[in-house]
Structure 1
Amino acid sequence: MKIVVQLKLMPEADQAAALSATLHTVNDAANWVSKVAFEHGVPREYELRKHTYAELKARGLGAQAAQHVIKKTRDAYTTLKANIRAGNLGKPGSKRRVKAESKPIAFRPDAAQPYDDRCLSWQYDQQTVSIWTTAGRLKNVRFVCSADALKMLREQRKGESDLIRRDGMFFLITTIDLPDVPISEPDGFLGVDLGIVDIATTSSGYRAAGRGLNRHRKRQLDLRRKLQAKGTQSAKRLLKKRGRKEQRHAANVNHIISKTIVTTAERTGRGIALEDLTGIRERVRLRKDQRTKLHSWSFHQLGQFLDYKARRAGVPLVYVDPAYTSQQCSECGHIDRKNRATQATFACRACGFLANADDNASHNIARKGETVWIAGRESRVPATP
């Protein structure tokens, strides 16, 4: 199983200047390569290398850095093509799709640059790296991380690492290849109902209320509006400084929720059943004043956190069809839109069962999870002799 670890670099002033200049140089070169690729109809990587490699070397890039610039440019066009094919940029002729197809891909000055082991070496005991830059190789660049991350780096680091600059700080994003943990046979499933009022409700009774997170988002939204309306230089600096504050806060909340759910499932020997909410933003129609809440809802991130934490713990996780989970009675199975009396109340019109709506839905999801697990489990019938 592969996971990503983020390390913060702590360069000296001259080292930081060299790293910044390197990122600007390689991304400026990537923009030039992108224009060449666009003009030649985005050829394959080998063909693109013939058009660009000599010029990249003349710009002062090392051999490996030049290869990585070409490869990341070609990969960007591959991703764009995949998004167009999947319909993520709209239908043919739509404004967004035409805009994406009509000009070369552009790279930000501080966009990530890949490094392999020829350009980047690690000294784990000293917690330093030696890294290539356009000003020469920098040695003894310090990095900081947790003890657990350092242990994984030392034992399971694999492949390339990406250097990025964010908010004036430098980070290395590296891949860790963890050994697969055997998936245990579950004794039932823990159903997880995702929502906006309550971020997550499980069939075990755990409820992660979304009131605090929603209040935090509203405060951030109001502050952004005030700063944008003010429009001064100091307001713009503050906007930039606070740019990712809400995102970091929401990610921290999702980490806490996912860890709690996975720990409960592991302790009780159960699997986790989660709703498949792919494409929900396109399916759901809301009033204009409700759209901000829906589009700020980070359910996809919470699902990703649950997925990788469950795999690390050996806990089975299945995705179920969310259809009718909020309308079906978890006691008698009766389905009716009117069963959902209010946002918070479920009252079955057939058997009279009364419960919290999210609790009821989580039990339906748990039952669907067992069905999906049984249907997808490999047959244990002995082979015919």
Structure 2
Amino acid sequence: MKLVVRVKLLPSPVQATALEATLQACNRAANHVSRVAFERGIKDRNGLQRLLYADVKSVFGLSAQPTVRAIKKVADAYTALNAQVRKGLLGPTTKRYNAAMSHPIAFRPEAAQPFDDRCLSWQHDARTVSIWTVGGRMKGIRYTGSADQLKMLDQYRKGESDLVHEGGKWFLIATCDVPDPDVAEPVDFIGVDRGIVNLATTSDGTNYQGRGLRRYRNWCARKRAELQKKQTRSAKRRLARRAKKEQRHATHLNHKIAKEIVSVAQRTGRGIAVEQLDGIRDRVRLRRDQRGTLSSWPFHQLGQHLAYKARQAGVAFMEVDPAYTSQRCPRCGHTEKANRPTRDEFCCRRCGLAGPADVVAGVNVRNRARSAWAFVTMPVPSTA
């Protein structure tokens, strides 16, 4: 299992200046490679390296390995763009598609730059790194992080690390290849229903409300509108500082919810089941005033957090068919739209079972996971 560890660098002013100059040089080189790749139609790594290696190395002042990393960054960017086009994520004739395909990919002056072990080395005992810069090898740059992050970094780091400059701070993002624990055979499942009014509701009846997040987002929207209306330099600086604060808040909430659900599942020996919500934004038609809420709500992120935390804890995780989970009676199986007279209430028109609608949906998710797990683990009959 691959996990990402993000540690904060604590460079001196001289070290920070060298790191900034290095990022800018690498991204100038990447923009040059991207223009040539776009004009000549050569977007594979080997072709670009044969064509531009000597030029990039001499013109932009990069040594051998950073030159290779800069060229690979461009090739990876075009590979990702082509994958998006093949999947139809940009649309065939949209403005976004035309903008992406009519110009070479551009890199910001301080865009992240990957470094491999030839350019960057870690001294875990001293908590310092040694990194190549355009001014020479910069040694003894201190870093810090949580105890769990540092332990994982020391034991499982593998591959490249990305140098990131964000909000005036320096970070290194490293990939750790953590061995998967054995998944325990679940005695049952916890069904999790995700939503907007309630971020998550489990089949046990535990409810994680979205009221606080909704109020916070509405407050952020009002503040953004006020600052944008002022059009002053200080207002623009404040907008830049607040740019990702709302996103970090939602991510923090999703981490807390996922951690608690996985902890309960691990303690009780159960698995976790969620609805498979891929393509929900394409299937659901909403009023205009609801579209922004749905498009920005972190459904997928909560599912991702549940999946990787469950995998890390050795807890079984399943995605099940979401069809009619909020309209189906878990006792008699009767499915009808009228079973859910309001958003919060469920009442079966056949057997009279009543309860909170989101809890009923979680129970249906749990029941489907039980059936699916039994089918997956069913022994194959012998043909002998």
Distance in 2 between residues matched to 1:87 and 1:375, nearest whole Å = 34
Alpha-carbon displacement from aligned partner over 1:201-220 (angstroms, at most 9, x marks no partner):
00012111111111111111
Alpha-carbon displacement from aligned partner over 1:79-125 (angstroms, at most 9, x marks no partner):
111111001101x2333212211111111122111111110011111
How many pairs are equivalent?
A: 383
Distance in 2 between residues matched to 1:289 and 1:230, nearest whole Å = 25
Distance in 2 between residues matched to 1:37 and 1:372, nearest whole Å = 48
Instruction: Give the corresponding residue for 2:222.
Output: 222
Establish whether residue 232 from structure 1 lines up as the match of residue 232 from structure 2: yes
Distance in 2 between residues matched to 1:255 and 1:43, nearest whole Å = 38
Instruction: Give the corresponding residue for 2:271.
Output: 271
Instruction: Give the corresponding residue for 1:85.
Output: 86
Q: How do residues 149-298 of structure 1 correspond to structure 2 at under 5 angstroms? A: 149-298=149-298
Q: Matched residue of 1:290: which SS?
A: helix
Instruction: Give the corresponding residue for 1:362.
Output: 362
1:381 positional shift: 4.5
Q: Confirm or deny: 8 A CA contact 1:158 1:176 kept in the other structure.
A: yes
Deviates more, 1:43-52 or 1:14-23: 43-52
Q: How do residues 300-315 of structure 1 correspond to structure 2 at under 5 angstroms? A: 300-315=300-315
Percent sequence identity is 55
1:257 positional shift: 0.1
Distance in 1 between residues matched to 2:138 and 2:109, nearest whole Å = 20
Instruction: Give the corresponding residue for 1:36.
Output: 36
Distance in 2 between residues matched to 1:153 and 1:93, nearest whole Å = 44
Distance in 1 between residues matched to 2:232 and 2:347, nearest whole Å = 54
Q: Confirm or deny: 8 A CA contact 2:43 2:78 kept in the other structure.
A: no
Q: Matched residue of 1:139: which SS?
A: strand
C-alpha change, 1:85 and 1:265, in structure 2 (3 Å) is same
Q: In structure 2, what residue type is equivalent to 1:225?
A: A
1:224 positional shift: 0.5
Runs (4 or more) in structure 1 with deviation over 4 Å come to: 381-385
Instruction: Give the corresponding residue for 1:95.
Output: 95
Deviates more, 1:301-310 or 1:368-377: 368-377
Q: Confirm or deny: 8 A CA contact 1:191 1:363 kept in the other structure.
A: yes
Q: Confirm or deny: 8 A CA contact 1:42 1:74 kept in the other structure.
A: no
Instruction: Give the corresponding residue for 1:316.
Output: 316
Distance in 1 between residues matched to 2:5 and 2:308, nearest whole Å = 13
Distance in 1 between residues matched to 2:281 and 2:55, nearest whole Å = 45
Establish whether residue 66 from structure 1 lines up as the match of residue 67 from structure 2: yes
Using structure 1 for the length normalisation, give the TM-score. Answer: 0.97
Q: Matched residue of 2:170: which SS?
A: strand
Instruction: Give the corresponding residue for 2:379.
Output: 380
**Stretches of structure 1 lacking an aligned partner (at least 5 in a row):** none
Instruction: Give the corresponding residue for 2:49.
Output: 49
Distance in 2 between residues matched to 1:112 and 1:383, nearest whole Å = 55
Instruction: Give the corresponding residue for 1:116.
Output: 116
Q: Matched residue of 2:150: which SS?
A: helix
1:155 positional shift: 1.1
Q: In structure 1, what residue type is equivalent to 2:109?
A: P
1:360 positional shift: 0.5
Distance in 2 between residues matched to 1:330 and 1:248, nearest whole Å = 37
Alpha-carbon displacement from aligned partner over 1:30-82 (angstroms, at most 9, x marks no partner):
11101111111134211111221111111101111000111110011011111
Alpha-carbon displacement from aligned partner over 1:169-196 (angstroms, at most 9, x marks no partner):
1110001111110111111111000000
Establish whether residue 6 from structure 1 lines up as the match of residue 6 from structure 2: yes
Distance in 1 between residues matched to 2:213 and 2:326, nearest whole Å = 23
Q: Confirm or deny: 8 A CA contact 1:258 1:309 kept in the other structure.
A: yes
Distance in 2 between residues matched to 1:300 and 1:109, nearest whole Å = 31
Distance in 1 between residues matched to 2:43 and 2:376, nearest whole Å = 41
Q: In structure 1, what residue type is equivalent to 2:366?
A: A
Q: Confirm or deny: 8 A CA contact 1:250 1:298 kept in the other structure.
A: yes
Q: In structure 1, what residue type is equivalent to 2:212?
A: G
Distance in 2 between residues matched to 1:43 and 1:294, nearest whole Å = 36
Distance in 2 between residues matched to 1:205 and 1:260, nearest whole Å = 14
Distance in 2 between residues matched to 1:95 and 1:212, nearest whole Å = 36
Instruction: Give the corresponding residue for 2:299.
Output: 299
Distance in 1 between residues matched to 2:268 and 2:177, nearest whole Å = 28
1:24 positional shift: 1.2
1:382 positional shift: 7.1
**Stretches of structure 2 lacking an aligned partner (at least 5 in a row):** none
Distance in 1 between residues matched to 2:135 and 2:149, nearest whole Å = 30
| Cα RMSD after superposing both structures | 1.2
Alpha-carbon displacement from aligned partner over 1:333-354 (angstroms, at most 9, x marks no partner):
1101111111111111111111
Q: In structure 2, what residue type is equivalent to 1:115?
A: F
Q: Matched residue of 2:175: which SS?
A: strand
Q: Confirm or deny: 8 A CA contact 1:274 1:365 kept in the other structure.
A: yes
Q: Confirm or deny: 8 A CA contact 1:5 1:176 kept in the other structure.
A: yes
Q: In structure 1, what residue type is equivalent to 2:314?
A: G
1:285 positional shift: 1.5
